[in-house]
Amino acid sequence: VKTRGSRRTEQREEILRQLDGADGFKTAQQLHRALVDRGAEVGLATVYRTLQALVARGEVDVLASETGESMYRRCATDSHHHHLVCRSCGRSVELSSVEVERWAARIARKHRFSGVSHVAEIFGVCERCTSSV
Amino acid sequence: VKTRGSRRTEQREEILRQLDGADGFKTAQQLHRALVDRGAEVGLATVYRTLQALVARGEVDVLASETGESMYRRCATDSHHHHLVCRSCGRSVELSSVEVERWAARIARKHRFSGVSHVAEIFGVCERCTSSV
DNA sequence: TTAAGTGCAAATCGTTTGCAGTTCG
DNA sequence: CGAACTGCAAACGATTTGCACTTAA
């Protein structure tokens, strides 16, 4: 286990800036492309490494898209929550749900599973994307 | 769109047999390894192609593991449902949840998202695996 | 100075595909 | 016979890593 993300570097700032500017979940590749297009000099590997570090520190949320790629977003809430994600643009809404939490806990208890975690994400097409097609 | 899985072949039978024998979600690679170990002559590509076909026909369930790999299982219920999956052995329990369905529908409506789908899986370690460590 | 960070290219890993040779119906 | 199917190896796309070089502290 290395100590990562302890320094302030140009590229790290750029990546954070990009994350803040995004209004939804983006893949590492999308973020990198955006950075390059914008003129920022950051390598793809660095984007991956940085995102990894940010996730480890809990500063960024990851979720697996329906196709299996990891998507990242800087979330407002630092506690556990779920998302409603637009399949088309990645725009997302943070959700906290007592129902889901209770459901997961109840099921786990019932079947005597330990070390339980759960994922619950809703995918769809947001209003803006629906009308722009 | 091709017509796939219309024939009865030796390898298809082996794969189905393997799926029936499994008591939880398995990756394509795990299934393939098991088949080879058992002496069945099936190529990895065939396993992937067959699983794909089975999923398309709704005879098999897929879900993305926490690490992003696809895991397959022959499910009893043919309608939409969720799972409680053991991280250690893959053993799983099928769940149907009115709460989750209602929650997803309510959230989608509220934010005016269309074409909505959702995933909700619970991961943990089953009793048997917990005690065998 | 020196551990942390970076770019690049090569390496992984899961999965898909092109193709030539089988096989089911 | 002809469309499905198969194996194999090459192709892929996302992510990781080895390495030599740079830089923050």
Residues with CB under 7 A from strand D: A 7-10, 27-29, 44-45, 48-49, 52, 69-70; B 2-7, 9, 11-12, 41-46, 49-50, 53
CB-based contacts of A5, cutoff 8 Å, min separation 6:
A12, A50, A53, A54, A56, A57
For residue range B54-104, list pLDDT tens digits in order. 999 889 999 888 888 999 999 877 778 899 999 888 899 999 889 899 999
* pTM of the shown model: 0.83
Report the chain A residue with the minimal C-alpha distance to residue B66: A64
State which residue of chain B sits closest to A70, comparing Cα positions.
Answer: B68
Tell me the pLDDT tens digit for each residue of A106-123.
999 999 999 898 999 999
Task: Find how far residue A33's CA is from the centre of its chain.
Answer: 17
Q: A36-82: per-residue pLDDT in tens?
A: 999 999 999 999 999 999 999 889 999 988 888 999 999 877 778 89
Q: Per residue, what are the HEC states of A50-90?
A: HHHHHHHCCCCEEEECCCCCEEEECCCCCCCCEEEEECCCC
Amino acid making up residue A49: R
User: Chain B residues contacting A, CB < 8 Å?
Assistant: 64, 66, 68-70, 84, 86-87, 93, 95, 97, 99-100, 102-104, 107-108, 111-127, 130
CA A53 and chain centroid, separation:
13
Query: Is the confidence at residue A8, as pLDDT, over 80?
Result: yes
Report which residue type is found at A54: L
Chain mean pLDDT for chain B: 91
